Structure 1
Amino acid sequence: MTTEKKIFVLDTNVILHDFNSIFKFAEHDVLIPITVLEELDKFKKGNDLINFHAREFTRELDKLSGDDLFSDGVALGNDRGRLFIETGKAFSEKMKVSFQDNIPDHRILAITEFVNNDNPDRTTILVSKDINLRMKAKSLGIPAEDFKNDQVQDVDNMISLGIQTIYDFSDEKIAELYQGEEGLTEEELNLDYDLTGHRYFILKNNNSSALAHFNPLNKKVQRVEKPSAYGIYPRNAEQTFSIDALLDPNINLIALTGTAGTGKTLLALASALQLSEQFDQIYLARPIVALANKDLGYLPGDAKEKISPYMQPLFDNLAVIKKKFNIHSKQYLYIDELLRDEKLQITPLAYIRGRSLSNAFFIVDEAQNLTPHEIKTIITRAGEGTKMVFTGDIEQIDSPYLDRKSNGLTYLSDKMKDQDIFAHINLIKGERSFLAELASKLL
Structure 2
Amino acid sequence: MKKIFVLDTNVLLQDPNAIYAFEDNEVVIPAIVLEEIDNKKRNADELGRNARQISRMMDGLRNQGRLFEGIDLPNGGRLKVELNHRSFAKLQETFAEGTNDNRILAVALNYHMEEQENPNPRPVVMVSKDTLVRIKADVLGLTAQDYLTDRIVNMPDMYMGYLTIHAHPSVIDEFYTYRYLNVNSLHLAYPLNPHEFVILKDEMGTSKSALLKVNADGKKLEPLFLSNDPIWGIGARNAQQRMALELLLNDEIPIVTLTGKAGTGKTLLTLAAGLLKVEDERKYKKLLIARPVVPMGKDIGYLPGEKEEKLRPWMQPIYDNLEYLFDTKKAGDIEKILAGLGSIQVEALTYIRGRSIPGQFIIIDEAQNLSKHEVKTIVSRVGEGSKIVLLGDPEQIDHPYLDASSNGLTYVVERFKAQNISGHITLERGERSHLAQLAADLL
Q: Which category describes the TM-score, using the shorter chain as reference length? A: 0.7 to 0.9
Indicate yes or no: 2:284 matched with 1:279. Answer: yes
Check the 8 A contact 1:232/1:267 in 2, yes or no.
Answer: yes
Give, in whole Å, the separation in 1 of the partners of 2:394 and 2:140. 32
Tell me, yes or no, if structure 1 residue 50 matches structure 2 residue 68. no
Shift of residue 128, structure 1, vs aligned partner: 1.3
In the alignment, is the contact (CA less than 8 A) between 2:11 and 2:127 conserved in 1? yes
C-alpha displacement of 1:237: 0.7
Q: Is the 8 A contact 2:88 2:103 kept in 1?
A: no
Q: Tell me by how many angstroms 1:136 deviates.
A: 0.9
Counterpart Cα distance in 2 of 1:271 and 1:84: 54
1:16-56 per-residue CA deviation (whole Å, 9 max, x = no partner) reads 21222222222223222111111111111132111111111
Query: Percent of pairs identical after alignment?
Result: 42
Q: 1:113 aligns with which of 99, 109, 114?
A: 109
Instruction: Please say which of residues 125-134 and 304-313 is displaced more in the overlay.
Output: 304-313
1:40 counterpart letter in structure 2: I
Question: Contact 2:68/2:80 (CA < 8 Å) preserved in 1?
Answer: yes
Once residues 265 and 196 of structure 2 are traced to their aligned partners in structure 1, the CA distance between those partners, rounded to angstroms, is 20
Counterpart CA distance in 2 for 1:99 and 1:295 is: 35
User: Helix, strand or coil for the counterpart of 2:126?
Assistant: strand
**CA separation in 2, counterparts of 1:9 and 1:125?**
6
Secondary structure of residue in 2 paired with 1:66:
helix
* SS of corresponding position for 2:41: coil
Shift in Å, 1:430:
0.9
Kept after mapping to 1: 8 A contact 2:259/2:426 = yes
Corresponding letter in the other structure for 1:288: V
Asked whether the 8 Å contact 1:48–1:350 carries over to 2, the reply is no
Matches within 5 A, 1:82-231: 82-89=78-85, 91-120=87-116, 121-160=121-160, 162-170=161-169, 173-174=171-172, 177-178=175-176, 183-205=180-202, 206-217=206-217, 219-224=219-224, 225-227=226-228, 228-231=230-233
> 301-310 or 268-277, which moves further after superposition?
301-310
Report the alpha carbon displacement of residue 340 of structure 1 after superposing the two structures with TM: 5.5
Q: Alpha-carbon deviation of 1:149?
A: 0.9
Contact 2:15-2:150 within 8 A present in 1 as well: no
Q: Please give the secondary structure, in 2, of the residue aligned with 1:98.
A: coil
Q: Unaligned regions of 5+ residues in structure 2, if any?
A: none
Partner amino acid, structure 1, of 2:81: I
Question: Which residue, 228, 232, 235 being the options, matches 1:233?
Answer: 235
Distance 1:74-1:67 versus aligned 2 partners, 3 A rule: closer
1:381 aligns with 2:385: no
Per the alignment, residue 426 of structure 1 pairs with 426
Aligned partner of 2:60 in structure 1 is 63
Cα distance in 2 for residues equivalent to 1:298 and 1:90:
44
1:317 and 2:321 equivalent?
yes
TM-score, scaled relative to structure 2 = 0.86
SS of the residue 1:275 aligns to? helix
CA drift of 1:221 comes to 0.8
1:249 equivalent in structure 2: 251
Quote the offset at 1:247 in angstroms: 1.8
Question: Residues 344-395 of structure 1, C-alpha deviation per residue, up to 9 Å, x if partnerless?
Answer: 3222222221111334332221122222333233333333333222211122
Alignment of 1:17 onto 2:14: yes
Q: How far did 1:302 drift?
A: 5.9
Q: Distance in 2 between matches of 1:285 and 1:423?
A: 20
Instruction: Name the CA distance, whole Å, in 2 between partners of 1:204 and 1:286.
Output: 38
Q: Which runs of no fewer than 5 residues in structure 1 stay unpaired?
A: none
In the alignment, the residues of structure 1 paired with residue 397 and residue 47 of structure 2 have an alpha-carbon distance, to the nearest angstrom, of 18
